[in-house]
Amino acid sequence: MLDYQKEFIQYALDCGVLKFGEFKLKSGRTSPYFFNTGLFNTGAMLGKLGQFYAQTLIESKIPVDMLYGPAYKGIPLVSTASIAYSQLKQDIPYAFNRKEAKDHGEGGVIVGTPLQGNVLILDDVITAGTSVRESVEIIKQMNATPAGVLIALDRQEKGENEKSAVQEVSEQFGIPVISIISLPQIIEFLELSKGSTEQLEIIKAYRLQYGI
């Protein structure tokens, strides 16, 4: 676990974004932890989140020409990540899509820099992979190249088959999917922090049952 990953987990806990307990997921499973990036809901929190996205991109060494955020969750993510990246490394263009095409003014479905070159998609998590598939289609329609996907958390959890949604997206489109943190880092964080042994064992058991 890298220092910024450890810092991100602690920050997510402090902001109430990462919680431990019992949480019913859409899949019907009862998870021992819950993660909601929507709770990074102040200017300071969002600014800090952007720094973690930018650090992860720099660490990945994936060559990208611009960032893209799918509406609606991806809009604040791509905005804050591009600002942070410009402060940490260099200026970078960004864009996001409209849910409905605009037929007046500049028109179209894209707001920001026209999609070009290697485009990195930013999202919070991947569950069904729907927004990524839509994003890949939009990027290809603009004759640009999907360079990968950057998310906040990879739960590394099996779906209906033995693969996770992240694995399915990566294999289907032949692009890397990177994350600020994944479940193994949360487990390592709990081990290092010497927190609740009971909570740690519950999460390990959940991973054993549902992990990829």
Which amino acids are annotated catalytic? 102, 104
User: What residues contact 142, with CB distance under 8 A and at least 6 apart?
Assistant: 110, 114, 115, 116
Indicate the residue type of 7.
E
CA dihedral 140, 149, 162, 31 (to 10 degrees): -130
Q: Which two tokens stand for residue 119?
A: 């485009």
Cα three-residue angle 128-161-31, rounded to 5 degrees = 65
Report the relative pairing of strands 94-102 and 108-112 from DSSP bridges.
Answer: antiparallel
Is the peptide bond prior to 72 cis by the omega test (within 30 degrees of 0)?
yes
Task: Specify whether the CB–CB gap between 81 and 57 falls below 8 A.
Answer: yes
Q: Which two tokens stand for residue 154?
A: 């990879």
List strands edge to edge, sheet with 118-122: 108-112, 94-102, 66-69, 118-122, 145-154, 177-182
